[in-house]
């Protein structure tokens, strides 16, 4: 009897696995179950619009600033939505091999706000799902689907399946992911969808006390503490134009999802779970998309999903906002309604926001919230809460009534060219006249993005943005909160700066400026060029193309190199659309951007990325992934350059960007900082196993060395942040005999973070912007070092060679005359004060000419623009230097004294300035260090000029200080016909 | 694979059936000589897998109840991974006859902590349970040997969506050439499989243990075992233990570390307190 029982038990035990669910069996013939079977949407007559296509032409690409779909990707579409799944082998951002969502937008609308939605189980590179097979499922008219199979990255024993499915009436995509632990280890999985927002685009929104758009900050070390459970995750774009939509995701099986949120990335999925061997997880969710400017459109759909999944009833509420003389109400900048669970007696941070809605043009709005609860409805306008009302026990159909918003001023800005009185493209800066005025108008988008005073619109989006307004052909109109302001009109550093002090009152008003081209300031034969500019095509920019290109013209830039992150982009069509083709040229390029850490350096166990590089000119092919850009992950710089080599369309220029920028989310932005290079040591001739060896080595299969770039940013950003460090690295490589050309770029991603063309490169090149522009000529001039970097001051300098000829700075080495003199002339607009001129030899400032006379009237348009003109004996500068030397000239505001107190690997001294003289005692030492537990820093910028000081108006426009530097003269002092590296000690 | 599973389960069941058969008289040897002692004997009762599966077992039956705790850990710093477990177990055995013993182990508390980079998760659940039988096959003055069988019951909630079952069949032997020396060994084959919506993923393992206990006094013994396991996870691991006795109470402390194989444990340790009656 016992034996028989045992046999039965054995059969039950072993046979129990026969009926396996979906693909949890792992069988090759399995089919992933249809996701969200308990969720349905209704429509009629829409079946024929259900489609599944492998994208084969540009015309099939979805539209929108974030659209990425390309040939080989799969598009599912119905009457309401379209979603693009990256084809296998198509790598984007953190998706290692395709299979992630690239685009999700309302059907036929150019409104994609999704960068990338991908599946991961943790935060390490090996926690991503790598799909290796893709199957199209066409079961029209019921459904279309894409089924993917793969495994965790580098973990073939942890198998994964994901199915994306669209039905005829779905307002979004159904997704089911299965993950089976076939390994021998107990795993910790946080099986989630990762949403890559990237900082200046869509913002995550989740219900929860104190949440909504606000989420606890974290880093990779504290991320475990910020996991929260939320009923849904929503997001919407904030481009400031009409090309935006909203998305929301809700679980199809559970009341909530667990994850974390930040402006950079969100995660929403299953709770963190220990999964021993043989364990599995299944995650089913619905990702809705709606044609709405606020998050409410998609949240309404998420509420419907939750009604079906959790039986949670919702209430649809409606209302209306009104403002006398409003230019528009259907704009997030002017009206945003936040609905939070709670009451007026509660502090705002204890209320639980459930939705945010942007009214229609007539001011009406509606939204869904959980029924039966009490809510506070807040009306926000120009970044500030202006009204709130409480509603108890909210039921379906509740009319919230009218919200009457305070008045604003409708200001028309006019900017004319003094010479022709024709309208100019320009940028307006609106600055409160004092702290009290600032306090009255300071705002944010529900606490997110940059705080601005006044807040005229989303800082990262279209004009008006933050406190800035673009003026096209001399005129623009914007609503401005009431207050007293300095209003500036800016048209680049070769023009006068306009300023008016204005009190904005309700109703219409006009502010007019007349700007003057400052004759003689821009040397003949030069072009102003910004080699580092982003637009909405970048994953971290929301500024529409029209505003982006208009900003080039507003800064009076000659050449703009488009360097969008990880995607080649062409602004030519927009240039033509704006009629700027005769005087503005754009160049097609990109900025490679490492996302997946892989590189290990000695004495560190953390994998790294290689940072960012700009490359131009490149071929733009919108039919290809990344518009033809290279796959830039998992390779060292030398191999990246090799991959890009066939994509260049002219003389290649590769630029190392922001070499010492601080890492973001564990991803280094500059290769030298990633390597923790010790600048006190000389570079080895070849890879010697050290960090420096990695910098110089040539990866296998590449013909470029890792330091094979041509140029390096020395100035990055309008505020010159980290100039000390970028400059120190440049000086270091020059001392190593690497003739890397120093550049100055805005790295602008919007109207707010940096102003295009501030700083810029003034390149001496025999070409002109417009129809005859030749990028090869420009690049050759840059490669020859015939450029200077500046945000206003212009430096002209020569040194006499052995034949007595005055040589300009360039990469061409020459022998100086025995009694050679360095002749320097510095000019600038009256609003760009130059306090001093500095002479740099082999990485040391050897002479400073201080206390230069400052212009009396910053708004003058005539008079002398010369701030310094003089000459210095070369021998005086070279005192104490043996061997060959390089010489560079700087001009601008005095910098703070900076020094190296550590910061290298293990805290060692690394030759990189990390701390300024913050206590002003004339030395840099431990007493300058601030911050609990800190051993170095901060590295401060010079304080912004106060009102009444020279540079006050410059600071109001740039948030920085005047600065310029020349590329070096390379001097052959030893007479061997070449430039011999002075070494880390600079030949001293 | 399923054939093997059936064989193991049937063998285990057959062994259980032995209990109900007429008593077969064996020579009263080494088992009798040690039956009054509380000192643990045989291979160290410590395994690397579920409950006491794949661990050596003593040859001689005894009546005993006890509490044990076992800790296991993998600390893989380069991979930013860690997994630490502690199992609090109740165990007991009943010598239904001088030659036959029924035994069971229940991991009443299973604590687990796993770290993936900076993500962490702690979990406390009911753990695994095994039940088995040992039948002495020979028992001379110096040599005792028994056939053992046990089944893994689906009690644990550790694996999401899956209940784990299994069976094991083995033989264990004890040789006492001297009063102060016990040499022991065990060999077994086991099978585990999952029950649930996912694949059962059956896994077979084989275990061999040899070791010895140096017992200078009646209240203390020092044990050194070497275990070798083959299967999805394989290892060769020395295990060092100390045994103490106070009257009928016994205490066993042991620690083990794999030195060869693909097992990733950085430590396995256990403490067991028992009362023999």
| Chain B contacts in chain A segment 769-808 (CB below 8 A) | none
Name the 3-class secondary structure at A181: strand
Question: Is A399 among the domain residues?
Answer: yes
Does residue A188 belong to the interface with chain B, where contact is any CB pair within 8 Å? yes
Residues A388 and A506 in one domain: no
Name the residue facing A188 among B13, B116, B162 (closest C-beta).
Answer: B116
Q: Is the CB of residue B30 less than 8 Å away from at least one CB of chain A?
A: no
| Option in A126, A180, A273 nearest B121 (CB) | A273
Structure tokens at A841: 């030899």
- CB of A254 within 8 Å of a chain B CB? The answer is no
Domains and CATH numbers, chain B: 2-276 (2.40.128.130)
Are A706 and A697 spatial neighbours (Cβ–Cβ below 8 Å)?
Answer: yes
Structure confidence at residue B29 (pLDDT): 65
Q: Is residue A70 part of a domain?
A: yes
For residues A821 and A848, state if they share a domain: yes
Most B-contacting residue of A276, A283, A665 (CB-CB within 10 A), to test interface: A276
Looking up residue A178, the CATH number of its domain turns out to be 2.70.98
Question: 3-state SS of A769-829?
Answer: CCCCCCHHHHHHHHHCCCEEEECCCEEEEEEEECCCCEEECEEEEECECCCCEEEEEEECC
DSSP letter at A684 equals P
- First-to-final CA distance of chain B: 41
A602 touching chain B per CB within 8 A: no
Tell me the shortest Cα–Cα distance from A348 to chain B, in angstroms: 31
Which pLDDT score, from 0 to 100, does residue A27 have?
86
- The helix or strand, by DSSP H or E, that contains position A11, with its residue range, turns out to be helix A2-15
B182 contacts B176 by C-beta, under 8 angstroms = yes
| Closest residue on chain A to B12 (Cα) | A6
Q: In what order do the strands lie in the sheet with A233-236?
A: A129-139, A143-152, A155-167, A172-181, A280-290, A246-251, A233-236, A203-205
Does A131 share its domain with A260? yes
State whether A349 and A251 are in the same domain.
Answer: no
Euclidean distance between CA atoms B142 and A648, whole angstroms: 85
Q: Is residue A812 part of a domain?
A: yes
- A379 and A508 inside one domain: no
Contact B13 A5 (CB under 8 A): yes
Partner-chain residue, chosen from B2, B10, B233, that has the shortest CB–CB distance to A3? B10
Euclidean distance between the first and final Cα of chain A, in Å? 97
Give the total residue count for chain B.
277
Residues 6+ apart with CB under 8 A from A940: A896, A916, A918
A24 vs B: CB within 8 A: yes
Please report the residues numbered 221 through 250 in chain B whose beta carbons come closer than 8 angstroms to any beta carbon of chain A: 232-233
Q: Are residues A298 and A322 in the same domain?
A: no
φ/ψ region of A31 (left if φ > 0, alpha if ψ in -120 to 50, else beta) reads beta
Q: Are residues A107 and A226 in the same domain?
A: yes
B200 with A121: Cβ contact below 8 A: no
| Boundary (domain end) residue, out of A285, A308, A331 | A308
Chain A: give the shortest CA distance to residue B192, in Å: 10
Listed residues A470, A485, A515: the one ending a domain: A515
Nearest CA to A316 out of A395, A391, A247, A390 is that of A395
A181-214 pLDDT, tens digit each: 999 999 999 999 999 998 899 999 999 999 999 9
Query: Which CATH number covers residue A332?
Result: 2.60.40.1120
| CA neighbor of A529 nearest in space, from A758, A860, A241, A339 | A758
Tokens of A553: 């013209």
Q: Give the model's pLDDT for residue B17.
A: 53
Q: For residues A478-489, b (16+ Cβ closer than 10 Å) or e, as one string? A: bbbbebebbbbb
**How far apart are the C-alpha atoms of A189 and B161, rounded to whole Å?**
15
pLDDT value of position A21: 85
**Structural domain includes residue A803:** yes
The nearest alpha carbon in chain B to A123 belongs to B117
* Host domain of residue A349: 314-404
pTM for the whole structure: 0.93
Q: How far is B29 from chain A (nearest CA, A)?
A: 30
**Measured CA angle at A289 (ends A284, A290), to 5 deg:** 150
Residue A728's SS3 state is: helix
pLDDT of amino acid A329 = 87
Burial code (b: 16+ CB inside 10 Å, e: under 16) for B75-90 equals eeeeebbbbbbbbbbe
A946 and A865 belong to one structural domain: yes
| A126 contact residues in B (CB cutoff 8 A) | 79
Q: What are the tens digits of pLDDT across the range A71-125?
A: 999 999 999 999 999 999 999 999 989 999 999 999 999 999 999 999 999 999 9
| Rounded Cα distance, A911 and A930, in Å | 20
pLDDT for residue B8? 45
How many domains are contained in chain A? 4
Question: Between A and B, how many CB-CB pairs are < 8 A?
Answer: 152
Contact A223 B201 (CB under 8 A): no
Locus of tokens 């046990």: B150
Taking only the tens place, the pLDDT of each residue in A48-59 is: 999 999 999 999
Could A605 and B77 be called an inter-chain contact, meaning their C-beta atoms sit closer than 8 Å? yes
The three-class DSSP label of residue A891 is strand
Cβ proximity of A626 and A643 under 8 Å: no
DSSP structure string for A438-469? HHHH-EEETTEEEEESS--S-TTSSSSBTTEE
- Cα separation, A376 vs A127, in Å, equals 41
* Residue A299 within any structural domain of the chain: yes
Considering the domain architecture, whether residues A276 and A395 belong to the same structural domain is answered as no
**What is the three-class DSSP state of A201?**
coil
Clarify whether residues A331 and A280 are in a common domain.
no
Q: Are A815 and A975 in contact (CB under 8 A)?
A: yes
What tokens were used for A673?
């900082």
Helix/strand/coil (H/E/C) assignment for every residue in chain B: CHHHHHHHHHHHHHHHHHCCCCCCCCCCCHHHHCCCCCCCCCCCCCCCCCCCCCCCCCCCCCCEEEEEEEEEEEEECCCCEEEEEEEEEEEEEEEEECCEEEEEEEEEEEEEEEEECCEEEEEEECCCEEEEEEEEEEECCCEEEEEEEEEEECCCCCCCCEEEEEEEEEEEEEEEEECCEEEEEEEEEEEEEEEECCCCCCEEEEEEEEEEEEEEECCEEEEEEEEEEEECCCEEEEEEEEEEEECCEEEEEEEECCCEECCCCCEEEEEEEEEEC
pLDDT digits (tens, 9 = 90+) for B116-146: 999 999 999 999 999 999 999 999 989 999 9
Contact map slice: B 156-185 vs A, CB within 8 A: 158-162, 164-165, 167
- In angstroms, rounded to a whole number, what is the distance separating the alpha carbons of residues A659 and A214? 32
Instruction: Give me chain A's average pLDDT, please.
Output: 95
Q: Are A396 and A318 within one domain? A: yes
Rounded to a whole number, what is the distance in Å from the CA of A54 to chain B's nearest CA? 32
Eight-class DSSP state of A831: T
- Helix, strand and coil in chain A, % to nearest 5: 15, 35, 50
**Interface pTM, i.e. ipTM:** 0.90
Contact A10 B77 (CB under 8 A): no
pLDDT exceeds 90 at position A630: yes
- Residue B272 main-chain phi, psi, to 5 deg: -135, 130
Mutation target vs B (from A278, A602, A665; most B CBs, 10 A cutoff) = A278
Tell me whether A28 touches chain B (CB under 8 Å): no
Give me the pLDDT at residue A7, please.
45
pLDDT tens for chain B, 277 residues: list them.
Answer: 444 444 444 454 544 454 444 444 444 567 765 544 789 999 999 899 999 999 999 999 999 999 999 999 999 999 999 999 999 999 999 999 999 999 999 999 999 999 999 999 999 999 999 999 999 999 998 999 999 999 999 999 999 889 999 999 999 999 999 989 999 999 999 999 999 999 999 999 999 999 999 999 989 999 999 999 999 999 999 999 999 999 999 999 999 999 999 999 999 999 999 999 8
Q: How many CB atoms sit inside 10 A of residue B256's CB? A: 24
Residues of B in contact with A159 (CB under 8 A): none
Q: Tokens 């030893």: give the residue.
A: A974
Q: Are A440 and A483 in contact (CB under 8 A)?
A: yes
The confidence score (pLDDT) of residue B33 equals 58
Check CB contact of A29 with chain B, cutoff 8 Å.
Answer: no
Together in a domain, A58 and A158: yes
> Is A762 within the bounds of a domain?
no
- Residue that is last in its domain, among A274, A308, A342: A308
Nearest to A597 by CA among A667, A656, A665, A658: A667
On chain A, the residues whose CB falls within 8 A of the CB of B78 are 605
Out of A25, A272, A276, name the one closest to residue B119 (CB). Answer: A272
**Residue among B115, B164, B197 minimizing CB distance to A24:** B197
Non-local (6+) Cβ contacts of B226 within 8 A are B209, B210, B211, B236, B237, B238, B239
**What pairs with residue A638 in β-bridges?**
none
Whether A745 maps to a domain, the answer reads no
pLDDT band at A516 (very low <50, low <70, confident <90, very high): very high
Contact map slice: A 259-288 vs B, CB within 8 A = 272-282
- Round to whole Å and give the CA distance between A818 and A823: 15
Residue B10 to residue A7, Cβ atoms within 8 A:
yes
Q: Do the domain assignments include residue A237? A: yes
| CB of A25 less than 8 A from some CB of B | yes
Q: Is residue A442 within 8 angstroms of chain B, CB to CB?
A: no
Contact B198 A186 (CB under 8 A): no
Q: Does A24 contact B199 at a Cβ distance shorter than 8 Å?
A: yes
Distance from CA of B65 to the nearest CA of A (A): 26
Residues of B in contact with A281 (CB under 8 A): 160
Q: CA B106 to CA A798: how far, in whole Å?
A: 88
| Record: contact A13-B162, CB cut-off 8 A | no
Which H or E run includes A639? helix A637-644
Return the percentage of chain A with pLDDT > 90, whole number.
94
Question: What angle in degrees, to the nearest 10, is found between the helix axes of B2-18 and A2-15?
Answer: 150
| pLDDT for A825 beyond 60 | yes
| Beta carbons of A986 and A684 less than 8 angstroms apart | no
């Amino acid at each position: 009897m016992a034996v028989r029982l045992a046999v039965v038990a054995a059969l039950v035990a072993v046979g129990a696995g026969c009926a396996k669910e979906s693909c949890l069996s792992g069988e090759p013939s399995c089919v992933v179950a249809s996701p969200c079977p308990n969720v349905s949407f209704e429509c009629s007559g829409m079946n024929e619009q259900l489609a599944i296509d492998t994208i084969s032409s540009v015309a099939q690409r979805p539209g929108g600033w974030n659209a990425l779909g390309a040939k080989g990707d799969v598009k599912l579409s119905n009457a309401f939505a379209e979603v693009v799944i990256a084809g296998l082998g198509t790598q984007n951002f953190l998706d290692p091999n395709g299979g992630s969502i690239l685009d999700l937008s309302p059907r036929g609308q150019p409104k994609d706000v999704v960068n990338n939605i991908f599946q991961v189980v943790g935060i390490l590179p090996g926690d991503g799902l790598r799909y290796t097979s893709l199957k199209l499922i066409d079961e029209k008219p019921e459904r279309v689907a894409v089924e993917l199979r793969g495994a965790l990255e580098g973990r073939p024993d942890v198998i994964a399946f994901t199915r994306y499915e669209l039905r005829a009436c779905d307002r979004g995509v159904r997704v089911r992911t299965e993950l089976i632990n076939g390994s021998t280890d107990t795993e910790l999985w946080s099986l989630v969808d990762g949403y890559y927002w990237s900082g200046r685009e869509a913002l995550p929104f989740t219900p929860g006390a104190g949440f909504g758009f606000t989420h606890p900050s974290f880093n990779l070390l504290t991320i475990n503490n910020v996991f929260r459970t939320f009923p849904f995750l929503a997001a919407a774009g904030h481009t400031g134009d009409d090309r935006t939509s909203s998305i929301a995701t809700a679980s199809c099986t559970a009341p909530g999802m667990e994850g974390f949120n930040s402006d950079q990335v969100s995660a929403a999925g299953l709770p963190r779970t220990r999964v021993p061997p043989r364990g599995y997880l299944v995650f089913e969710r619905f990702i809705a998309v709606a044609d709405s400017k606020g998050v409410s459109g998609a949240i309404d759909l998420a509420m419907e999903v939750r009604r079906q999944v959790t039986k949670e009833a919702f209430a649809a509420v409606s209302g209306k906002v009104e403002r006398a003389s409003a230019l528009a109400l259907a704009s997030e900048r002017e009206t945003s309604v936040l609905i939070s669970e709670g009451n007026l007696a509660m502090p705002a941070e204890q209320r639980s926001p459930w939705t945010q809605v942007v009214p229609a043009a007539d001011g009406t709005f509606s939204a869904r919230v959980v029924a039966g609860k009490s809510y506070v409805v807040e009306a926000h306008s120009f970044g500030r809460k202006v009204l709130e009302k409480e509603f108890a026990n909210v039921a379906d159909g509740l009319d919230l009534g009218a919200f009457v918003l305070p008045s604003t001023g409708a200001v028309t800005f006019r900017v004319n060219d003094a010479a022709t009185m024709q309208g100019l493209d320009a940028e307006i800066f609106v600055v409160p006249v004092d702290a009290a005025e600032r306090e009255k108008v300071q705002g944010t988008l529900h606490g997110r993005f940059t705080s601005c005073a006044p807040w005229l619109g989303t800082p990262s989006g279209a004009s008006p943005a933050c406190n800035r307004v673009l003026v096209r052909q001399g005129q623009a109109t914007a609503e401005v909160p009431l207050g007293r302001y300095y209003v500036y009109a800016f048209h680049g550093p070769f023009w006068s700066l306009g300023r008016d002090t204005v009190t904005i009152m309700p109703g219409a008003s006009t502010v007019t400026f007349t700007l003057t081209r400052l004759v003689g300031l821009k040397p003949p034969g030069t072009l102003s060029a910004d080699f580092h500019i982003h637009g909405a095509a970048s994953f971290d920019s929301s500024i529409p193309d029209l505003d982006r290109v208009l900003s080039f013209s507003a800064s009076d830039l000659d050449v703009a190199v488009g360097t969008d992150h990880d995607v080649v982009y062409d602004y030519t069509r927009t240039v033509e659309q704006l009629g700027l083709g005769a005087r503005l040229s754009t160049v097609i390029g990109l900025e490679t951007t490492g996302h997946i850490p892989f590189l290990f350096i000695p004495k560190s166990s953390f994998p790294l990325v290689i940072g960012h590089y700009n490359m131009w000119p490149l071929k733009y092919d919108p039919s290809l992934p990344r518009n033809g850009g290279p796959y830039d992950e998992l390779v060292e710089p030398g191999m990246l350059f090799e991959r890009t080599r066939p994509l260049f369309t002219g003389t290649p220029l590769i630029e190392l960007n922001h070499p010492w920028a601080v890492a973001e989310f564990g991803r280094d932005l500059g290769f030298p900082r990633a390597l923790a290079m010790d600048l006190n040591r000389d570079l080895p001739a070849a890879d010697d196993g050290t960090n420096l060896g990695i910098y110089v080595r040539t990866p296998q299969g590449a013909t470029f060395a890792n330091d094979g770039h041509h140029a390096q940013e020395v100035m990055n950003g309008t505020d010159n942040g980290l100039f000390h460090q970028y400059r120190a690295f440049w000086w270091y490589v020059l001392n190593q005999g690497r003739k890397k050309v120093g550049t100055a770029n805005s790295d602008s991603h919007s109207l707010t973070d940096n102003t295009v063309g501030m700083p810029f490169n003034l390149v001496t090149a025999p070409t002109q912007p417009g129809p005859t522009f030749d990028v090869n000529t420009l690049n050759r001039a840059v490669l020859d070092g015939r450029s200077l970097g500046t945000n206003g001051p212009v430096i002209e300098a020569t040194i006499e060679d052995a034949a007595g000829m005055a040589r300009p700075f360039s990469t061409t080495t020459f022998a100086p005359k025995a009694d050679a003199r360095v002749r320097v002339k510095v000019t600038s607009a009256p609003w760009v004060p130059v306090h001093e001129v500095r002479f740099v030899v082999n990485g040391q400032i050897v002479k400073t000419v201080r206390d230069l006379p400052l212009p009396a009237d910053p708004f003058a348009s005539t008079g002398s623009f010369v701030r310094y003109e003089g000459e210095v004996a070369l021998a005086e500068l070279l005192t104490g230097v043996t061997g060959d030397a390089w010489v560079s000239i700087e001009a601008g505001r005095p910098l703070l004294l900076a020094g190296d107190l550590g910061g290298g690997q293990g805290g060692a001294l690394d030759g990189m300035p990390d701390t300024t003289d913050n206590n002003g005692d004339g030395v840099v030492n431990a007493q300058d260090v601030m911050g609990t537990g800190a051993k170095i820093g901060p590295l401060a910028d010079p304080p912004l000029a106060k009102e009444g000081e020279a540079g006050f108006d410059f600071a109001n426009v740039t948030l920085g200080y005047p600065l310029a530097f020349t590329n070096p003269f390379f001097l052959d002092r030893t007479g061997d016909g070449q430039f011999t590296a002075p070494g880390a000690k600079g030949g001293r | 694979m399923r054939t093997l599973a059936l064989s193991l389960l049937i063998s285990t069941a057959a062994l259980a059936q032995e209990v109900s058969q007429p008593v077969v008289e064996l020579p009263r040897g080494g088992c009798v000589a040690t039956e009054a002692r509380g000192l643990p004997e045989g291979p160290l009762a410590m395994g690397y897998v579920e409950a006491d599966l794949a661990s050596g077992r003593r040859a001689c039956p005894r009546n005993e109840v006890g509490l044990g705790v076992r800790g296991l850990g993998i600390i893989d710093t380069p991979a930013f991974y860690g997994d630490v477990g502690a199992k609090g177990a109740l165990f007991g055995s009943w010598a239904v006859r001088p030659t036959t013993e029924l035994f069971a182990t229940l991991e009443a508390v299973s604590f687990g902590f796993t770290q993936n980079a900076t993500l962490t998760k702690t979990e406390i659940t009911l753990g695994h349970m095994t039940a088995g039988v040992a039948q002495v096959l020979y028992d001379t003055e110096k040599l005792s040997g028994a056939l053992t069988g046990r089944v893994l019951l689906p009690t644990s909630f550790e694996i999401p969506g899956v209940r784990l079952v299994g069976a094991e069949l083995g033989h264990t032997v004890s040789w006492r050439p001297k009063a102060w020396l016990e040499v022991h060994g065990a060999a077994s084959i086991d099978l585990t499989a999952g029950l649930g919506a996912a694949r059962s993923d059956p896994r077979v393992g084989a275990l061999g243990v040899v070791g010895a206990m140096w017992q200078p006094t009646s209240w203390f013994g020092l044990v050194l075992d070497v275990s070798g396991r083959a299967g999805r996870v394989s290892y060769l691991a020395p295990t060092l233990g100390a045994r103490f006795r106070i009257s009928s109470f016994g205490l066993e402390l042991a620690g083990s570390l794999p030195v060869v194989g693909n097992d990733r444990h950085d430590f396995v340790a256990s403490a067991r307190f028992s009362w023999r009656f």
